Amino acid sequence: MPIYNAPLADMKFILNDVFNAEQFWQSNENLAHLDAATAEAILEEMAKFAQNVTLPLNRTGDEEGATYNNGTVTTPAGFKEAFKQYAQGGWIGLGAEEEWGGQGMPKMLTVLSDEMLFATNPSFMLYPLLSVGAGMALNSYASQEQKETYLPKIYSGEWSGTMCLTEPHSGTDLGIIKTKAERNEDGTYNITGTKIFITGGDHDLAENIIHLVLAKTPDAPAGSRGISLFIVPKFMVNEDGSVGERNAAGPGSIEHKMGIKASATCVMNFDGAKGYLVGKENEGLAAMFVMMNYERLSMGIQGLGASEFAYQNAAQYATDRLQGRSASGVKSPNKPADSILVHGDVRRMLLNVRANNEASRAFAVYVGQQLDITKFSTDAAAVKKANDRVALLTPIAKAYLTDTAFQATLDAQMCFGGHGYIREWGMEQCVRDLRIAQIYEGTNGVQSQDLIGRKTIKCNGAYIAEYIEEIRDFANSLDADLNFIKDATLDAATEIADLTQFVLAQAAESVEFPNAAAVDYLHAVGLLSFAYMFARIANAAKDKDGEFFQNKLALAQYFAQRILPELDMRIAKVKAGSDLIMNFSENYFTSQA
């Protein structure tokens, strides 16, 4: 049975010591209701829920899976009760507006509570996650009446939400969706079309499901400028807010997948279903992107959660497994062999995972803080700056945190040897479940295009220049006893600044260059971001006594010397340009000749 102990010590260290969260909250009138003790109490409560409720349902959920039968989806045993308990604990609305029944907690905090749920049961977590994303989109773009109708029910968990974008022929390229929305005289619409890959498209956890559906009106402009967003409830909502008759929207089947098997991934059929426009016609993508950006950071948290889960189990296994002897002499003479922790290669894998976890967690809180500034700050200049930062870092949070986490789960699985391949140990499930995080909500390739294109080239490198300036200012403020990470961070900042200039110059010359360079550029910026996080971690730890803080410094050193060398490789790949890639004929790829 896999273990999980919520990493509360590191969470508290990051909130309190690295980011001085309480001071940040108290200095903002919209967050002044929150202090460190309350935040810690919330994390401790979530830790109990994750350890006691969702963890035990993770393996069984994978074995049983969500099932489809006669037009309805059933979740695995225990999910319904767990969802009810989660909803009743107020967790769905933890970060939502108090006006609609939420608890108004900042993102800095909710990224950490989300991490615990993703760590212990990613399939389960996806159900409330989609509800929260739908809630955010409605809160930003829906009418007052729509908000009143849907938001309290969504945050209470009575109802849930989905996002219906993808169609069989249209995923990344939403401009070519075919789902139609025909206007009725009463201002409603009839929605007709098929959507695929709809997470939580149907289930038995809530009494109603509120689908947010992208569709095109008959006279809409072609492409992505002609997409509208509609609310399509599974059951119609009566005047008094109660659930009425069934709408013509439902699942046609569910997908059989590599992982997250307890999460129902539905093919959704809309057969002239009644829909309600959200915002204005043809402006649906903007509303959907509120939801998407939220989900994208969440996918990074999914990575972090899986990587933490993988770490804890691998570290425990490595401690317990006796095999071979230490190169420096027998360590456990009374046992038939030493623990495999005596082997440098096993430690190397574990340290890779742990470094990933601590940097990812700090980075998630950092991005959460930027989101909180955009939402809660009253300082317009600060909001503008934070908006730019969020725009820059969202694709990194999604893609870099899931790419590194996936490698981390592989390293952790490898610590188990053959047992890592066996289902009962839970490690192979962790790998399978996480793999989707690199793919969905825009593949990591698409995230990289977003970073290099919209977020870098389009603003002529302004966003990244601001980010680098902040990093340099911070690194330059560090004492000389932190030179090991100070210098590494400053060097990385200079390399990224130079690389960005190279990217801008190349992009001006070759339209093909950005796409080909994107993934390596994203990883390069991700490495700089982790260096920055370890600089902040090291600075927070350096003057404090105790092994806990010394180990933070040692792990930062490990990162600088054993992980950061990847940066030069990424730079070399970006600099190799795109000609080598684009010069092959299209025919080459499917031809042996």
Range 276-315, binding its own copies (CB under 8 A): 312, 315
**Window 370 to 429, contacts with its own copies (CB under 8 A):** 413-414, 417-418, 420-424, 428
**Rounded CA separation 123/220 (Å):** 36
DSSP character string of 464-529: HHHHHHHHHHHHHTS-GGGHHHHHHHHHHHHHHHHHHHHHHHHHHH-TTHHHHHHHHHHHHHHHHH
Residue 234 sits in the site that holds its own copies (CB under 8 A): no
Least distance to its own copies, CB of residue 571, Å: 9
Residue 145's closest CA among 209, 241, 229? 241
- Nearer residue to its own copies within complex by CB, 201 or 514: 514
- Nearer residue to its own copies within complex by CB, 187 or 418: 418
**Rounded CA separation 305/248 (Å):** 37
Q: How far is CA 507 from CA 75, 493, 503, in A?
A: 48, 21, 6
- Nearer residue to its own copies within complex by CB, 100 or 521: 521
- Nearer residue to its own copies within complex by CB, 192 or 312: 312
Least distance to its own copies, CB of residue 480, Å: 20
- Nearer residue to its own copies within complex by CB, 170 or 282: 170
**Window 143 to 202, contacts with its own copies (CB under 8 A):** 166, 169-173, 176, 196-197
**Window 498 to 527, contacts with its own copies (CB under 8 A):** 511-519
Residue 467's closest CA among 497, 447, 444, 491? 497
Active-site choice (295, 358, 428, 441): 441
Residue 48 sits in the site that holds its own copies (CB under 8 A): no
Residue 592 sits in the site that holds its own copies (CB under 8 A): yes
- Helix (H) or strand (E) holding 73, with range, is strand 72-74
Antiparallel, parallel or unpaired: β 265-278 and 249-254: antiparallel
Residue 259 sits in the site that holds its own copies (CB under 8 A): yes
Task: Considering only the stretches 87-95, 242-250, 296-304, 580-588, report the one whose residues sit in contact with its own copies under the rule CB under 8 A.
Answer: 580-588
Residue 580 sits in the site that holds its own copies (CB under 8 A): yes
Least distance to its own copies, CB of residue 551, Å: 6
Least distance to its own copies, CB of residue 175, Å: 8
Residue 1 sits in the site that holds its own copies (CB under 8 A): no
- The one-letter code for the residue type at 203 is H
Residue 70 sits in the site that holds its own copies (CB under 8 A): no
Residue 111's closest CA among 56, 35, 46, 51? 46
Which two tokens mark 130? 């989609």
Residue 255 sits in the site that holds its own copies (CB under 8 A): yes
Q: Which of 186, 240, 543, 547 binds its own copies (CB under 8 A)?
A: 547
Residue 323 sits in the site that holds its own copies (CB under 8 A): yes
Q: Which of 32, 77, 258, 462 binds its own copies (CB under 8 A)?
A: 258
- Nearer residue to its own copies within complex by CB, 231 or 349: 349
- Nearer residue to its own copies within complex by CB, 62 or 202: 62
Least distance to its own copies, CB of residue 402, Å: 12
Q: Which of 120, 162, 228, 448 binds its own copies (CB under 8 A)?
A: 448
Residue 9 sits in the site that holds its own copies (CB under 8 A): yes
**Rounded CA separation 535/546 (Å):** 19
Which DSSP state fits 91? -
The site map against its own copies for 560-579 (x = CB under 8 A) is -xx--xx-xx--xx--x-x-
Contact 323, 424 (CB under 8 A): no
Contact 400, 448 (CB under 8 A): no
Q: What contacts 366, CB < 8 A, 6 or more positions away?
A: 19, 393, 533, 536
Contact 291, 134 (CB under 8 A): yes
- Helix (H) or strand (E) holding 163, with range, is strand 159-164
Residue 558 sits in the site that holds its own copies (CB under 8 A): yes
Burial environment of residue 459 by CB neighbours within 10 A (0 to 12, 13 to 18, 19 or more): middle
441 as an active site residue: the answer is yes
Which two tokens mark 404? 């590194």
Q: Which of 328, 333, 380, 509 binds its own copies (CB under 8 A)?
A: 328
> What is the distance, to the nearest Å, from the Cα of residue 262 to the centroid of all Cα atoms in its chain?
18
Which two tokens mark 582? 């684009």
> What is the distance, to the nearest Å, from the Cα of residue 338 to the centroid of all Cα atoms in its chain?
38
> What b/e sequence results for 421-434 when a residue is b if at least 16 CB atoms lie within 10 Å of its CB, and e otherwise?
eeeebbbbbbbbbb
Residue 445 sits in the site that holds its own copies (CB under 8 A): yes
**Rounded CA separation 500/505 (Å):** 9
Residue 435 sits in the site that holds its own copies (CB under 8 A): yes
Residue 271 sits in the site that holds its own copies (CB under 8 A): no
DSSP character string of 393-412: HHHIIIIIHHHHHHHHHHHH
Least distance to its own copies, CB of residue 576, Å: 4
Q: Which of 439, 459, 465, 504 binds its own copies (CB under 8 A)?
A: 439
Least distance to its own copies, CB of residue 386, Å: 29
Residue 413's closest CA among 434, 437, 438? 434
Residue 318 sits in the site that holds its own copies (CB under 8 A): yes
Task: Considering only the stretches 30-38, 43-51, 336-344, 461-469, report the one whose residues sit in contact with its own copies under the rule CB under 8 A.
Answer: 336-344
Least distance to its own copies, CB of residue 90, Å: 27
**Rounded CA separation 202/196 (Å):** 12
Task: Considering only the stretches 29-37, 250-258, 271-279, 288-296, report the one whose residues sit in contact with its own copies under the rule CB under 8 A.
Answer: 250-258
Which residues partner with 275 through β-bridges? Answer: 189
Q: Which of 105, 136, 350, 412 binds its own copies (CB under 8 A)?
A: 350
Alpha-helical runs (H) found in 93-164: 107-120, 122-141, 144-156
Residue 65 sits in the site that holds its own copies (CB under 8 A): no
- Nearer residue to its own copies within complex by CB, 166 or 269: 166
* Tokens 């319904």 found at: 80
Residue count at the site for its own copies (CB under 8 A)? 104
- Nearer residue to its own copies within complex by CB, 289 or 588: 588
Which residues partner with 193 through β-bridges? Answer: 270
Other CB atoms within a 10 A radius of the CB of residue 405 amount to 29
Active site residues: 441
